[in-house]
Amino acid sequence: MNIHIIPHGRATSHVKRGLRAYSGADKVYLLTSDAFESEGIELEADLEEFGYDLESRLIDAFDLRDVVDTIVSIAKQHPGDDLFINITGGTNLVAGGATSSAFFIGATPYYVLEPQDGTENIDELIMELPAPTQPLTFEVEGLQRDLLVTLGDWTDEGRTGVIMREIGEALGESAQKVSYHVDQLEDRGLVERRPSGRTKHVYLTDVGKLYLQWTGEE
């Protein structure tokens, strides 16, 4: 099944254009805030007329955690389905939360452009962002979890760009063992290593921060 998750604000034309481009949408979730609830009701009625299987969710457009939690909860209802997120509408915070969530759950984020002269093919108005290699709705356990949480604590304290030896000392593990687990976390996009001279420093990525936030460690 193709599942579309679509935040919106006052403007809603991008919703219809996006769904026209993706003609095989099996289920549509509209994310509506209090300020634009009337627009959401009108949009819902329009889309139901076209036969879409529709469900609306109320979100706090100024609460990133609420936006992310809502999108992740929808994704958990559709394991194995193809997920798409229209990141065009809503507040800047909602758009940012929707984009981050797309990478978190393994969805394809897309943006719908405004027509310029009316002659564009509908497909030309859709910009897809690269899809993530894997969703982040997995469990990070054991030493990898300890490592990630430690980096999260240090990041909150303003301590970033640490070396393997520092991580090993904090966790009571060898630098070689730490390096192996950093590799695993880097493959998942949760941390990254940046060279500084002859040494590589380890940083928590934005996706790593999001993972810790959603799993209750930040």
Write the DSSP string, 42-111. Answer: HHHHHHHHTT--EEEEEE-TT-HHHHHHHHHHHHHTSTTSEEEEE-SSS-HHHHHHHHHHHHHHT-EEEE
Dihedral angle sign, alpha carbons of residues 66, 72, 76, 78: positive
Residues of the chain with CATH 1.10.10.10: 142-214
User: CA 97, CA 68: separation in Å to the nearest integer?
Assistant: 6
Residues 142-214, CATH architecture = Orthogonal Bundle (1.10)
Q: pLDDT at position 132, please?
A: 54
Reported as a pLDDT band with limits 50, 70 and 90, residue 135 is low
For residue 216, is pLDDT > 70? no
Q: How far apart are the first and last CA of the chain?
A: 34
Taking only the tens place, the pLDDT of each residue in 162-200 is 999 999 999 999 989 999 999 999 988 889 999 988 889
Q: Which part of the chain has CATH 3.40.50.10770?
A: 2-128
Separation between Cα atoms, residue 91 and residue 112, nearest integer Å: 15
pTM above 0.85, yes or no: no
Residue 211: Cβ within 10 Å count = 24
Q: pLDDT band for 136, please (50, 70, 90 cuts).
A: low
CATH architecture of 2-128: 3-Layer(aba) Sandwich (3.40)
Separation between Cα atoms, residue 99 and residue 129, nearest integer Å: 9
| Amino acid letter, 40 | G
154 Cβ neighbours under 8 A, 6+ residues apart: 160, 162
